[in-house]
């Protein structure tokens, strides 16, 4: 139950100190100053406010005279607080929201309301290009963990009054800021209303994992379908392009990844490089990515099937048949290498940068000549798994990469035990998992293939020039 403030500042200070536990927390500070015949009190968090702005405001207050004070807090804010954003605080709930978000709050003797003066600052890294979403040509900036920086990066690219950014607060304890960004005249109103209602209904203690936690709250899909329901991007140019196309971008404070909805599998496979190169080059890159993703799923199961039935090997490709001794069944070699590749990926993430090169050399030796010469793996198996491992990095979505990996492992196991029937069933499972998946809007995951839209489908595969894409 929120408590209202009173006109006596001493009573307000006592109530706020007990509420915020100021004496127990070293970084929660308050400063009481006397200006004329009035007492003023600032509450702020050490490290989240700009000291020089605080000094300038205090210096200005010391020059005030008793007759300069208006009759209410609203008049005071209009005459003597010209800096930035200033909001009235009428109860303790609003106070907690502002102070714990880093906004300094001012209380003045004789006023029932407090004033939230937003001159906070957050510790933030520079807006460098994200490691995962790099491009060969194009913008080199990226989202960071500070929400206001991310909205500014989008505003810099879209200078249109139709660009709307609505703020929500999620989590009883974390009170995480969430921004829904969209173009008012281009967005699907039904989808927008649905997303805003889902965010408002979220009833959890905190968004522990930031964007991923919010995504799980927005769409509680079936766990056994690994294909992603959202597109995550750390690139402000990609997020801005999605907004201009009528999509919705959700930004979460403390997360450098924007959530783009609604998203189909074609949207997830797209990359910024497709648009930073001429149409013919962009088309080639996009088609290459599609082909490599499909090959990454069927390549190793198909090789396993051909090894089970050598008579099916096409003429001229007989060299792919393994003639060296096979000490471990091919299926188990592939499965062991699947886990080994993930082990190397996890090791690389947790290896200090100064040791990354030695680790790469050791891993190359151990998983290269030594494993082949020791008889654990055959050279052909190592070659095909190397292609599959590299193929996972042709697109930027980790979620899609692992979804394809899971489908590949399922198809491998079925092929190993049931041969051709298992191979076909594995491909059917993959196709059904993609087709049966749904976007947040309820639209087909493989639109414009289902429902069929020939013109849009061609645009998914072939990059066209900007004037033609806008119908000029």
pLDDT at 354: 65
pLDDT at 56: 84
CA–CA gap between residue 222 and residue 201 (Å, rounded): 20
pLDDT at 370: 66
Residue 84 has pLDDT above 70, yes or no: no
| Range 62-66 average pLDDT | 84
Can you give the pTM of this predicted structure?
0.87
| Range 122-135 average pLDDT | 84
> Does 121 or 301 have the greater pLDDT score?
301
pLDDT at 95: 93
CA–CA gap between residue 431 and residue 425 (Å, rounded): 10
pLDDT at 275: 87
Residue 367 has pLDDT above 70, yes or no: no
pLDDT at 120: 85
Residue of 134, 315, 325, 322 whose CA lies nearest to 237: 134
- pLDDT tier at 35, thresholds 50, 70, 90: confident
Residue 83 has pLDDT above 80, yes or no: no
Question: Roughly what angle, to the nearest 10 degrees, separates helices 330-350 and 353-365?
Answer: 160
126: number of Cβ within 10 Å: 8
Residue 171 has pLDDT above 60, yes or no: yes
pLDDT at 456: 84
**Could you tell me the two tokens for 134?**
């790099």
pLDDT at 272: 87
Residue 197 has pLDDT above 90, yes or no: yes
- pLDDT tier at 62, thresholds 50, 70, 90: confident
Residues 374 and 336 sit within 8 Å (Cβ to Cβ): no
In this predicted model, what pLDDT tens digit does every residue of 282-331 receive, in sequence order? Answer: 999 999 999 999 999 999 999 999 999 999 999 888 888 988 888 899 99
In this predicted model, what pLDDT tens digit does every residue of 421-467 receive, in sequence order? Answer: 999 999 999 999 999 888 887 788 898 888 888 888 888 888 877 66
pLDDT at 234: 93
- pLDDT tier at 356, thresholds 50, 70, 90: low
- pLDDT tier at 37, thresholds 50, 70, 90: confident
pLDDT at 396: 82
**Could you tell me the two tokens for 341?**
């590749």
Residue of 463, 438, 403, 453 whose CA lies nearest to 263: 438
N- to C-terminal Cα separation, the chain: 58
pLDDT at 360: 65
Residue 68 has pLDDT above 80, yes or no: yes
| Range 52-65 average pLDDT | 84
> Does 293 or 343 have the greater pLDDT score?
293
| Range 86-97 average pLDDT | 91
Using a pLDDT cut of 90, give the percent of the chain over it.
Answer: 49
Question: Roughly what angle, to the nearest 10 degrees, separates helices 398-436 and 279-308?
Answer: 80
pLDDT at 180: 97
In this predicted model, what pLDDT tens digit does every residue of 219-230 receive, in sequence order? Answer: 876 677 889 989
**3-state SS of the chain?**
CCCECCCCHHHHHHHHHHHHCCCCCCCEEEEEEEECCEEEEEEEECCCECHHHHHHHHHHHHCCCHHHCCCCHHHHHHHHCCCCEEEEECEHHHHHHHHHCCCCEEEECCCCCEEEEECECCCCCCCCCCCCCCCCCCCCCCCCCCHHHHHHHHHHHCCCCCEEEEEEEECCCCCEEEEEEEECCCCCHHHHHHHHHHHHHCCCCCCCCCHHHHHHHHCCCCCCCCCCCCEEECCHHHHHHHHHCCCEEEEECCCCCEEEECCCHHHHHCCCHHHHCCHHHHHHHHHHHHHHHHHHHHHHHHHHHHHHCHHHCCCCCHHHCCCCCCCCCHHHHHHHHHHHHHHHHHHHHHCCHHHHHHHHHHHHHHHHHHHHHCCCCCHHHHHHHHHHHHHCCCCCCHHHHHHHHHHHHHHHHHHHHHHHHHHHHHHHHHHHHHHHCECCCCCECCCCCCCCCHHHHHHHHCCCCHHHHCCC
Residue 471 has pLDDT above 60, yes or no: no
pLDDT at 119: 85
pLDDT at 61: 85
pLDDT at 359: 61
| Range 387-412 average pLDDT | 90
CA–CA gap between residue 211 and residue 258 (Å, rounded): 8
What count of Cα atoms within 13 Å lies in the side-chain half-sphere of residue 89? Answer: 30
Q: Which of 66-75, 161-170, 448-457 has the highest mean pLDDT?
A: 161-170
Mean pLDDT, the chain, integer: 88
- pLDDT tier at 235, thresholds 50, 70, 90: very high
pLDDT at 365: 60
pLDDT at 81: 81
């Amino acid at each position: 139950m929120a408590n209202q403030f009173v006109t006596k500042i001493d009573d307000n200070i006592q109530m706020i100190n007990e509420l915020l536990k100021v004496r127990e927390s070293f970084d929660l500070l308050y400063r009481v100053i006397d200006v004329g015949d009035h007492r003023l009190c600032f509450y702020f968090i050490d490290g989240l406010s700009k000291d020089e702005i605080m000094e300038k405001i205090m210096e200005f207050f010391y020059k005030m005279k008793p007759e300069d004070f208006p009759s209410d807090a609203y008049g005071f804010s209009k005459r003597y607080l010209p800096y930035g954003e200033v909001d009235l605080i009428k109860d303790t709930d609003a106070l907690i929201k502002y102070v714990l978000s880093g906004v300094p709050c001012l209380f003045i003797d004789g006023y029932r309301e407090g004033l939230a003066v937003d001159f906070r600052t957050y510790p933030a890294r520079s807006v460098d290009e994200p490691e995962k979403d790099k491009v060969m040509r194009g913008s080199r900036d990226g989202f960071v963990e500070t929400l206001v920086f991310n909205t500014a990066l989008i505003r810099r690219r879209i200078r249109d009054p139709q660009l709307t950014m609505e703020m929500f607060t999620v989590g009883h304890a974390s009170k995480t800021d969430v921004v829904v960004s969209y173009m008012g005249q281009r967005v699907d109103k039904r989808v927008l209303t649905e997303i805003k209602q889902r965010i408002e209904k979220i009833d959890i203690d905190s968004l522990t994992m930031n964007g991923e936690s919010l995504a799980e709250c927005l769409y509680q899909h079936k766990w056994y379908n690994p294909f992603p329901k959202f597109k995550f991007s750390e690139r402000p140019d990609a997020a801005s392009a999605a907004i201009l196309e009528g999509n919705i971008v959700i930004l979460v404070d403390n997360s450098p990844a924007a959530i783009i909805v609604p998203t189909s599998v074609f949207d997830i496979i797209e990359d910024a490089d497709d648009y930073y190169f001429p149409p013919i080059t962009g088309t080639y890159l996009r088609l290459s990515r599609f082909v490599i993703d499909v090959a990454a799923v069927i390549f190793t199961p198909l090789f396993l099937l051909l090894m089970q039935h050598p008579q099916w090997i096409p003429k001229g490709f007989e060299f792919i048949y393994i003639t060296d001794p096979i000490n471990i069944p091919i299926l188990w070699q592939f499965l062991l290498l699947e886990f080994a590749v993930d082990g190397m990926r996890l090791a690389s993430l947790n290896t200090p940068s100064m040791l990354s090169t030695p680790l790469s050399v050791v891993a190359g030796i151990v998983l290269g000549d030594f494993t082949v010469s020791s008889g654990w793996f055959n050279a052909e198996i190592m070659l095909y798994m190397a292609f599959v491992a590299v193929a996972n990095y042709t697109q930027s979505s980790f979620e899609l990469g692992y979804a394809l990996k899971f489908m590949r492992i399922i198809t491998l196991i079925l092929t190993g035990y049931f041969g051709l029937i298992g191979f076909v069933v594995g491909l059917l499972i993959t196709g059904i998992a993609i087709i049966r998946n749904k976007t947040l809007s309820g639209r087909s995951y493989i639109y414009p293939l289902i429902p069929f839209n020939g013109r849009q489908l061609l645009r998914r595969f072939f990059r066209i020039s900007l004037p033609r894409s806008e119908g000029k």
